[in-house]
Structure 1
């Protein structure tokens, strides 16, 4: 009888220990990594870049067309504030001397001096805006796209001071009442007090679409592709044409190339 009692207590103790340890074991166990669904049609690249052929851009009109600007601003709900001081822009145009300061002289070809040059975020290889952002609201993806997290942005504008290309805009007021185009519900609107800029249409790449500006360009002046892929359209254009970038002396490594 005593032997049976000891056996029962031993088995009961082991069971109790096992049951008590189970929650602890579960708590200490390494959680499984979340599985994210990915679109099989997504465009992927190691280092995205764009080539802008200004000769083709000017073919449609001496002042260039604005199809790329209109498409970009419509897709991304960019507001039209109406004043230069508070304007919000993702793509815009500037004259040569403002786009390429330090790369001009009095003997420059006359027909390019007053023509518009497309400007946008250069998605730099070494972006200074990322280095100066205190909250990591500005960050660089592995594929080279420089992104903005609007929820992390505290409006300090350090990134604007750090960007040497003027590629960032600050929302001095609530931008939503100033969206003049039909609202695109698939892209988030912003709030007052945050910075915004071109994102290379990363949300379109994720579903297999080219950037809106590239798609809207009827003359083929904008070409988008992976710099690391020798067969990509941008690599072919760079191999066949002499190109320049904005402010190369700064060492930021712009990934927007211009054929002039």
Structure 2
């Protein structure tokens, strides 16, 4: 009965996704519904619209590795190349296909910025590692595509995931032009080398991605990648002209990924 109900719901969700924007009566698929999360901590950090600035002049292979490790370790991101404890998970089969869950990762320039590739592009950009992640877009297509509101955008611009609402339809993944979402085709928990109890683990059939360390901002702390970046990454309020991110954008030339898509990414790269 459970399988039948789930199948029926997926059919309804599929119809809703096809008809997005066609009927204003489909309120559950509307991107106008926000889920603001107010921190009870008086020291929590807040913003009208959170954004990130990455200074490519300060990015090195070591910084990239440190940022990715800090992010993935704190958020229990599984490593499917990790050897599983067979005594604890005796029925876990080895991974026989390439699968990767990523919140923050390294990309080459021509992949990160395909619309900015140039015949005479400075040589340094060909060899430079670019950190990429969820762009927490102002016009987030993933939010519009999600039929269950498992993907939603807060009033402060952070795009989050409700893992319990996710039905694994992967419409959000198809809608995201940045490849910033990963799907758990199998139970990720056996492939977490050391579980951090401070952050929830996910289950098979759930999509996940960067949450801009919303749980740390609520406590007045900086995101893990910011702390590990040695000054290469800054997070702040894009709508505050006095913020550090705005100062950096005013002083330096910056670019964003796939701007022609109209999603208004909130991650900027200082060149």
TM over 0.5: yes
1:25-40 → structure 2 map (5 Å cutoff): 38-40=40-42
CA displacement, residues 199-249 of structure 1 (integer Å, 9 cap, x when unaligned)? 00000011110101001112x100000011111110000000010000000
Deviation at 1:81, TM superposition (A): 1.1
Gaps of 5+ in 2: 1-37, 82-94
User: In the aligned structure 2, how far is the partner of 1:139 from the partner of 1:157?
Assistant: 14
User: In the aligned structure 1, how far is the partner of 2:73 from the partner of 2:186?
Assistant: 19
- 2:156 matched to 1:165? no
1:1-260 → structure 2 map (5 Å cutoff): 38-58=40-60, 61=61, 65-82=64-81, 85-180=98-193, 182-218=194-230, 220-260=231-271
Deviation at 1:85, TM superposition (A): 3.3
User: In the aligned structure 2, how far is the partner of 1:166 from the partner of 1:203?
Assistant: 23
1:6 is aligned to none
Deviation at 1:102, TM superposition (A): 1.4
User: In the aligned structure 2, how far is the partner of 1:184 from the partner of 1:40?
Assistant: 25
Deviation at 1:64, TM superposition (A): 5.2
CA contact under 8 A between 1:64 and 1:116: conserved in structure 2?
no
Deviation at 1:116, TM superposition (A): 1.4
TM-score (norm 1): 0.82
User: In the aligned structure 2, how far is the partner of 1:155 from the partner of 1:65?
Assistant: 30
When Rg is computed on C-alpha atoms for both structures, the one with the higher figure is: 1
User: In the aligned structure 2, how far is the partner of 1:37 from the partner of 1:103?
Assistant: 39
CA contact under 8 A between 1:68 and 1:217: conserved in structure 2?
yes
User: In the aligned structure 2, how far is the partner of 1:70 from the partner of 1:120?
Assistant: 14
2:5 is aligned to none
User: In the aligned structure 1, how far is the partner of 2:134 from the partner of 2:44?
Assistant: 22
User: In the aligned structure 1, how far is the partner of 2:98 from the partner of 2:221?
Assistant: 33
CA contact under 8 A between 1:53 and 1:222: conserved in structure 2?
yes
SS at 2:173 equivalent: helix
Deviation at 1:151, TM superposition (A): 0.2
SS at 2:235 equivalent: strand
User: In the aligned structure 1, how far is the partner of 2:115 from the partner of 2:98?
Assistant: 25
Gaps of 5+ in 1: 1-35
Deviation at 1:115, TM superposition (A): 2.1
CA contact under 8 A between 2:49 and 2:238: conserved in structure 1?
yes
RMSD over aligned Cα atoms:
1.4
